[in-house]
Structure 1
Amino acid sequence: MDLSSSLLPLEDNGFERLENAEKVKADLQVCKLSADKEYVKLQDELTSLKELEENLHKESIKSKDIHEKELCVLNQENSKLKKEIEKLKEDLAECNSELSWDGKIEKKVADMKVEFTHMEDAKDDFSDINTRCVFSVTSKIPFKLNQNQALLTFEDAEVAQRLIKTGKHTLNLDRKTTDVKAMPFALGMGIKFELHVTISGKKIDVSEVPELSIPDDWVRDKLELNFYKSEHGGGEVENVKYDKKSRTAVITFLKPGAANGFVRSTKCPFFVNGRHYRLHVSPSTNVHMEKLQLYSGISKNSILLKGIAETEDDEESVQDMIEIHFQKPSNGGGETERIKYVSKGATWVCFEEDA
């Protein structure tokens, strides 16, 4: 029996398995080398990222320090500028005070006192056409109060006259005594007149008319139609005067008293070309002045104090001390209505006709 022929396949099979194993081993070694290279590469990238992170952190700290230093410098400069501004304000106030002391003060426009007096009777048979009101207008007379002067107004004129008659008064200001002189003073010129206001019962003034790209006649027609409607408080329109330049109009109704419905209304809807607008509406008025008079006089309830010594106290404190002194009956005083004291510069106070 020949055994050599049966051993050959086994030998070939062993070599083949060995070759496959060697091949797998070689492939694994190649993969390992590739993985090692990739690992080294990733390690290098990680190291670079860590270095970059450290550099960014250092730059951030450095930048923060720089910003904090710059902010500190800016705060110091801001504080310095605020001090300079305050100093400039003080210098400006001082300059204004000097200008006032030099008499370079612009006189204020006097306030006006307006009082309703009565309704005028209608001069025709249509009492509901127009409403006529009369107002009394009186200007308040300005009086210039100079530095180290005070003005006191008392409830009782006898107190003021008694203090003026005494003349010299000794005040205790800031633990110091000072002699002042109480004296009357003449007021300037004032005016008074009657203001007659007639509110039309047939006309209203319309403003804020929208700018429309249509002829003026069409605008008049649309205004007439708008105010003809009774739900808007109007009625049949007699005439429409429209001014495109000023965007205003005057509506005259046919029926007397039709305009009275707009006395309390300031806005009226206006529909045109599919759009909605709001017109400003007010009663048409006529104003004229009558009985203009000039007047002047002396305030019987007030006294002017001159020669008040300067003190270290503020103006309000000195004013309080003056008022307390002249409120005491033992000093010949009485109840005061008002007081004004000026320590620096000058100011204006106003009096009414019956002051």
Structure 2
Amino acid sequence: MEPLQAGDPLDEIKKLIDNYKKKHEQLLEEQKELVACRDMQQGLAAQFKDRAVKLAQKLKEEERSYIERLTDSETQLNQLRQEESDLKEKIQMIKAVLQEEEAQKKLLKEQTEVFTAVPEKKVVFLGSTGSADTAQAFEMEANIIYPMEGGTALITFEEEVVATQILAKKLHQVKLGGECSITVEARPVHLMLPKAVEINTDVCPHRILISNLPNMDIHTMLYELEIHFSKSRNGGGEVDTCDLLPDSGNVVLKFVEDSYAKGLAEKELHEVKLQGAKHTVRVTPFLNGKISHFKAESMPCPQTVLLTGIPNVMEPETLQDELEIHFQKFGNGGGEIEAILYNPVGQDMSAVFKDISSKPEEVEEQM
């Protein structure tokens, strides 16, 4: 408080009271302003808090949405990767199919070349016809080599039942005159025969097949053909070999290089000077054959038996005759003999079978 001055004490007191009232009023105004400011700050704080809550919720929603979009994107990416993998597999499959088609195309082209490579052969229709059902398939003539041990014999009977009887009895006592006899054992004969054969053929780039050749001296013909096709003006080159195929009468000519055979085969017809006169020969590609698949099976010879344990007791021809006589007699369980081959002890011999079907087998000696 302010000290009272000497003078009118009431006036001074009034002044003091007025001053304090003013100050009081100022304080009340300031208090109101502070209250208003406080209320405003509290309102702002509430607004900020509300906004913060909303922002937090929005962030959570955005985060959840982002995670969902990320998951969807990963799913789509995995699907795209799977589609890419499937497409790659399809591409590989298509490439494999294309390669197979190319291989098939190449094979067909080679087959076409093979078909066109067959030498011409003149045929004449004689008027005979037949059913298509009776057409025969491709066949190979059997030529089976059967090694024989010493002291054995092969006998082929006309009837299969006779061979069956001989095999059933197994041991046979063969009389050789007087009190002399031998005991032989009858065994079945099995041969390994081809059941399935596949041969791949391709055109040889070094060889040509020459057909439509005249009848003349073989050595002269081969010499003149070699001279003709060794000249570059005739489309040829250096010749390696020139050989005759005795079964067909055609000639196989082989070049050292592989750049001549194709051109000569494409021209096909060539005029060659043979025996002082021009002769038109036909040149076709030469085919190489390679066995790609071979399957064999053991087949019994139903009319042939193998006799073993035959000792060397007399001349081979005489002993073979004695065996034939014994096994021809019906009393010994034998029958009519188609062929017989005896191999004495200590000798090497092979039998050649031409057929093991129901027809009689042929058994030939091969030293």
Normalising by structure 2, report the TM-score: 0.42
Larger radius of gyration: 2
Normalising by structure 1, report the TM-score: 0.43
